[in-house]
Structure 1
Amino acid sequence: MKRAIAYIRVSRARDNMITQDTQLEKIKQYCRLHEIKLVDVYSDLDYSGRSTDRPGFQKLFKDIKHGKLDADYLMVYKLDRFARSVTSFHKYMNALDSYGINFISITQQFDTSTPIGRLIRNILVDFAQFESEMIAERVKDNLTKNAADGNWNGGPLPFGYELDEKSNILIPKEDEAEIVRNFFDWYLEAGGSFNQIAQKVNKEGITTSNNNLWAPSRIGEIISHPLYCIADEKSINYFEKKEIKVFNKETANGKNGLMRYNRRTSDGTLNEEENWLISVGHHQGLIPSDKFIQAQYKRKRRSKRPPRAGTSTKGLLAYLLKCGKCGRAMTFYSSTKTLANNRKKTYRYYVCRGRNLGKSVCNGQRVNADKVDELVIKQIQNTDHEKFNNLLNKVRDDLKYSINNLENKRLILKRDLEQFEKEEKNLLDKFKKTKSDRLISLIEDEVEEIAEKKIKIENKLIEIENKLDENQSQIYSDEYLLNKIHEFNENFDEMTFEEKRSSLQSIINKITYDEGDIELDLFF
C-alpha cells in the first residue's frame, strides 16, 4: 500500500478560513478512496502562506532530508496551503523530487507522478500566486497612490522633519536638518564612517529625536534614505538606472525631495532595491543629488571591503602595507629603550607577518616605520596631477564605452526573454486545447526547455546589471579619489595623526614594500 504524509496550514484567523479539522478530514477521505495509508501529519496554525518560514513546514522538510519519513506522497488540501510563491513552490517541489516523493493537491485533483500533473502544477501555482498578489495589491493600492502622489505614508517621522498635519507634508526641522547635512559632509570626508559619526555626535551630546544615543546603523539609514535627496534629473536618472520605478518626475524642481515606498515586503523582510517605488515628494529635500549619489557609491565600496583591523594600532600605514616577498601584511611594532644617559627612545617599525613562519615562507622583512611613512607621503604629494587627470579621463572614457556595450547587450537579452515568454504562452495555449497524452508530454518537454533558457538569460541580465553598477560606481569613485588626494596634500600639515591615517585608507587600497621599493595601489 502507498504511504502518504499530510501538510496542513491554517491562515491567520478570519471568518472564511479553512479549519485544520476540515483539511485533515478531506485528506483522509482521499486516502481511503485511493487506498493510501496516511502515516504522519504536519501542521502550521495561524501562519501566512506568503512565507515558508513556518515551524511545521520547516520540520517536515528537515525530516524528509534526514530520511525520517518513508512516504510516496505529500498531500495538501489545496495548493495555496503549501506555498503561494512560484519560487518557493518550485524550490520545495524540487526537494520532494530529489527524495522520490510525489505531491498531491486533493481539491485540484492532480498528481505530480504523471506528466499532466507536472504540467498542471506549473499552471496552477501561477494562478495561486496571482490570487495572492491581487489580495496584496488591494492592500497596498492606497499606499502606492500616496507614493505616486508624493504624499507622506505615515509612520515614525524621519529625523530632520516634522509634519504639517493640515497638508500632510513633511517640513524641515531646521536644527535637525542641519545635523543631517553634517552627517553627509562628515561621511564623505576622508575616512568618514558611520561608526566615526556616531562617536562624534554622541561625544558632543547630539541626540536622536527621542533623546537617545546614535547607533552607527541609524546613521546608515539616514545616509541611504532617498527622502533627504533633492529631486532633479541626476537623482531620478540614478534610481531609474537601478530599474527602480520613479513617479511624479515632472514635478521635480531641484528643491523638493524624494519619497521611498515598498522597502519591505508584506512579511516584513527587506525588499530588493529594484522592487522599491520612488516618487518626487512635496517636501523639501536637504541633500544635493551629487552628494547623495557619492554617498551611496561610497557605501557600496565600503561594503565590499573587509573591515580594517588597524584601528587600535599606531602605525600610519597599518593594514595597508604588504610584504613584496610573500604578500602578507606588515604589522606595526614599537619598543622603547633606555639609553646610557637615561633618556628613552622609541623605535617604530613594520615587520612582515611571515617572519614567524620561517625563511622557507618569507625572509620576514623589517623596516623603519618613519622611513616608509615618509616615502609614501612623498609619493602622494609628488603625484603628477596633470598625468593623473589624463589617466582618469582615459579610464572614464573606457568605462563609458563599456557601459554602452553592456546596455546594448542588456537590450538584446530582454528581447530574447520576451520572445521566449511568447513561445511559452503559445505552448500553454496548445496544452489547454489538446487531449493527447503524447502531445502533452512533448509540450511539457518544450516548456521545461524554454524555462531553462529563460533562467540562463535572467542570470546573464543579473551579471550585466552588476557590471553596469560597478562601472558607474567607478566613474564616481575616480572623481572622488582625485578630490581626496587634493584635500590630503592641501591639509596634511593641519591633520591629526588619526585623520592622516583615515585619509590614507580612503585613498590607498594597498602598499607593497620590497627592499626599499614602494608601490602604491590607489582606489581606481
Structure 2
Amino acid sequence: MSEPSHPLYCAVYTRKSTSEGLEQDFNSLDAQREACLAYISSQRGEGWTTVSEHYDDGGFTGANTDRPGLQRLLEDIRAGKVNCVVVYKVDRLSRSLLDFSQLLEFFDKCQVSFVSVTQNFNTKTSMGRLTLNILLSFAQFEREIISERTRDKMGASRMKGKFLGGLVPLGYQLDKERHVLVPHPKQAEQIRFIFDSVLRERNVSNVLSLVQAKGIGLPERKCKNGVVWPAKPISRAHLYRIIRNPVYIGKVRYKNKLYPGEQEGIVSEEVFQEVQNLLDAKRIKHGYRRKLIDGLLRGLLFCKACGSKMVPTYGKKNGRKHFYYICHKCQREGYASCPTKTVRQAEFNEAVIRRLSERGLLNRVEFDQLSIDKQTSALMEIAEKITYAYQDEYIEVFLKNGVSFGFRAKVKPHIGGVPKRERQAYKSRQKLKADKTTYYKALALQIREYMRVNNLSQKQCAQALGLSSARVSQILALL
C-alpha cells in the first residue's frame, strides 16, 4: 500500500468545564486525549499524523469561545499548521449552537476537517450536517437545563437565608466552617453608628461627611482569583446600599421579597424600618429623582478641579425637567468632595459654543441661524471631529462663575463600546433564547425526520447519536 502524498496534520482539542480533579496524574483531559490519539493512529494509513502541540482547556465553560487553548488552536489553523481538529465529543468544542456554527464556517474556510471520535458523522454530506446540528442542539439544550437547575438551586438556597458567596457586606465576616455570616466586632459598631447618624441628622449628605470624618471605609478585600481590592472610603452610592440592605436585620432579599437569613442582625428592625420610612418620605417630599441620560458630551467632558467626568443628568420637579451636568465625584461622594458640583446644561452649552467658535471649529453666525435640532446635529459632528481628528486636543471651557472644564478628545473604537460582530452575536443569542419553544420544536422535527430517513426506533436513534433515551423523549414530547 502506497503512502499518501499529503499528510493530514491533526490537532487534539480537550476541554473540561470545572477544574476539579485536574491535579490528578490521569485526569479527564488525559482520557479525552488518549481516545483521540487512538483514533488518529487507526487512520495512520490515510496519512493522519498528530501535531505535538497540546490544546487543553481545563476549567473553562463551553458556553463561549473565550478559552486560551481554543484561541491557540484557531491561530495555528490560520497559520496552516493544522488540517484536522479531533475531539472526544462535539460538546467539548462548544455547547453553543451559534458559536459552533461560526467555528464550523471557519473550519470550512480554512479547509480543515472536524472529527468527533465517539460520534461518527461526515460533515461533507447533508445527513452528516443534520446529525451534527442535532448533536450540537442537544449540547445547548443540556447546558440550558443545567443553568436552569443551578438558578433554581441558588433561588431555593437564597429563600432559606443562606449566603451564596460574593463580597462579604461591611459589618460581617465569613465563618468558613459553617459558611455563615457573623458580625465583625469593629465593623458592626460602625454600621450601628451609620444607622443612628441617619436618624439623628436626617440627611444622607451630612451622614456621609460624618462617616468620612470618622475614617469609616471599605477594608481591603482579597478575591479567590488573587485580585486585591484596596481599601477605599465609602461613597454616597455605597452608603445608600448599606442603609437599604436588609442583611443588617438578619434577612435576605430575593426577587423583591424578604426571607429570614442565617446571619445575626446588627441593627434592630425598628431602627431599620424607621430609616426606610425616612428615606421614602424624603423621596416623596422632593418629588424628583436624578436620572442618567445620554448626553451629547458624555465621555468628553471632565471636571478640571478633580479630574472626574461630568455626567449629564436631569431632575424632575413640579412636572418640569431641569437638565444639567454633575461631577461624578460629587455624585459618588457628596457635594463636599469637589467645588464644581453641578452646572446647567444651557449655561454650559453656551460656553462650549463660544469656546469652539474661538478655536475655529464652529461658525457662530451660521450656527445661530439653525434650528435646535440642526444645532444639536452640528454639535454632534463637532464632538466626533474632536474625538477622532484632534485626539491630542484638550479644550478648556470657562463659565461666568470662574469654573473651568476640560473638553477632552477620547477615542471610542466601537459605537457603544461593543464591536459590531459581538453585538450581532448577542442579538442572535437573545433571539434564540426568546424563541426557545419554537427552536426545540424544530429540533424535535429534525430528530423525527432523522429517525424516518434511517428507519430507526427512538432507542436506536438515541444510540446512534450517543445520547440517552430520556433526552430524546424529552425533546420529542414537545411535538
TM-score, with normalisation over the residues of structure 2?
0.49
TM-score, with normalisation over the residues of structure 1?
0.46
